[in-house]
Amino acid sequence: MSQFTLITGGSRSGKSSFAELLAAHTAYPNRPVIYIATAQILDEEMAHRVKKHQQQRPATWQLIEEPLNIPDTLRKLKETNGVILLDCVTLWLTNLLLSETEKNAQASQSAHITRTIYEMIEPKILSLVQEVGLLAQKIQPSVIFVTNEVGQGIVPENPLSRAYRDLAGRSNQILAQSADNVYWVTAGLPVEIKHSGEALLSSLGKER
């Protein structure tokens, strides 16, 4: 059964670098690392970012580019004797949300799209997140997911951005529940937060 690790943090916190170090360590001595990239290259700036990430990773790592269908990708790798590193969850959520919103916008009036997001699209995506979290627990390879904390800044000005912020926060909670280990990375330093957080919640529950 997999060892599932979730790594979260803010932008440029060092979470991807930590995830790559952890994957390389977990892979020792002879387990391959499979890197699942969820980014889509839609402009020059993103192409630059992707190239920079590629240069940081060992050339021996296998690359799978999959922006949407993460459940089936994990199923195909379920018996791999290696380490899966997915970077990142929040780009995957972006891809899903925009894809589903575009599909529904063609059939709905724009005034109703926000309600459609919360009543139809978000539940569908959260169901996929739940499925992915369970798969990450059960498959044979060790699994490392990188995600982002996107709700710590100002409240976004438009409904789609606010819906995305809420979706990312709820998805991170689902994945953290499934994960064996959860790390928060800030200023390049990782802190293990799952077990201490669970202990605190348990003690608070006993006091009620």
Catalytic residue among 25, 53, 112, 195: 53
Residue 53 annotated to the active site: yes
How far is Cα 150 from Cα 155, in angstroms, rounded to an integer? 10
**161 to each of 11, 107, 126, how far by Cα in Å?**
17, 21, 17
> What amino acid occupies position 69?
N
Element (H, E) at 205: helix 194-207
How far is Cα 103 from Cα 35, in angstroms, rounded to an integer? 29
Q: Which residues, in sequence order, are CB contacts of 114 under 8 Å at separation 6+?
A: 159, 160, 163
> What amino acid occupies position 60?
T
Please report, in angstroms and rounded to a whole number, the separation of the first and last CA atoms in the chain: 35
Element (H, E) at 64: strand 62-65
Cβ pair 136, 78 in contact under 8 A: no
Question: Which sequence positions are flagged as catalytic?
Answer: 53
